[in-house]
A = this chain, B = another copy of it.
Amino acid sequence: MPKAVAGPEIERLIQLLARLPGLGPRSARRAALHLIKKREQLMTPLADALAVARQKIVVCTTCGSIDTRNPCTVCTDPRRDASLIVVVADVADLWALERAGALNARYHVLGGTLSPLDGVGPQDLTIEALVSRAHGEEVKEVILALSATVDGQTTAHYITDLLQDAHVRVTRLAHGVPVGGELDYLDEGTLSAAIRQRTPI
């Protein structure tokens, strides 16, 4: 939006919205106009929600997830299996696994993956806290739910090495054909893994 058209407050709102992932300059303008049109129904609640989030959201000192309480809802849930820790790179991965609903475990959020090229070393992640948690008496298995990328797998290997002294089983996610996926669109690596790890019907 050119500067002469409206006050700087509107331009500032657009610029901030454009910094959200998924919104570019054009969609940020659309979002700003939408907010302005829906002032009572959307702008006011969103401003309030952001103010509340800013005050209340904390990082769980146990698992690294975000919540409005510390320790977080997951860490304090007595119905979750405390013997199972699922290691994820990011909170988004934790949410994705919870949506899948395949687990009733606790989590450990690393805060990223090891990436020498980006200057991310072990000290930048919560790996030390994970190792100390894995030595806890009740922990029996650590599932490394990390991306099947070079960085993800490097991180998985690094953690596996560190956990050798802890008396836990270390596992990782299965490779294979995505549910609903068509074979001829899959890469060779995935297909090879799916063949190697085939399961009886």
User: Which of A's residues lie within 8 Å of B, judged by CB?
Assistant: 1-2, 4-10, 12-13, 16-17, 19-23, 27, 29-36, 39, 42-47, 49-54, 56-57, 65-69, 72-74, 77, 90-92, 94-95, 98-99, 101
Contacts and interface: CB of A to CB of B under 8 A. Distances in A.
Contacts of A53: 9-10, 13, 32, 35-36, 43
Nearest to A100: B2
Copy number in the complex reads 2
A10 B57 contact: yes
Nearest to A94: B5
Contact of A7 (B2, B8, B22, B56): B56
Nearest to A12: B49
A56 B20 CA distance: 23
A135 to B, nearest CB: 25
A125 B17 CA distance: 28
Contact of A54 (B8, B30, B47): B47
Contacts of A68: 6-10
A116 to B, nearest CB: 22
Nearest to A50: B47
A99 B43 contact: no
A42 B35 CA distance: 17
Contacts of A90: 33
A27 B17 CA distance: 13
A189 B71 CA distance: 64
Contact of A1 (B21, B33, B69, B98): B98
A27 B35 contact: no
Q: Which of A7, A33, A94 has the most CB of B within 10 A?
A: A7
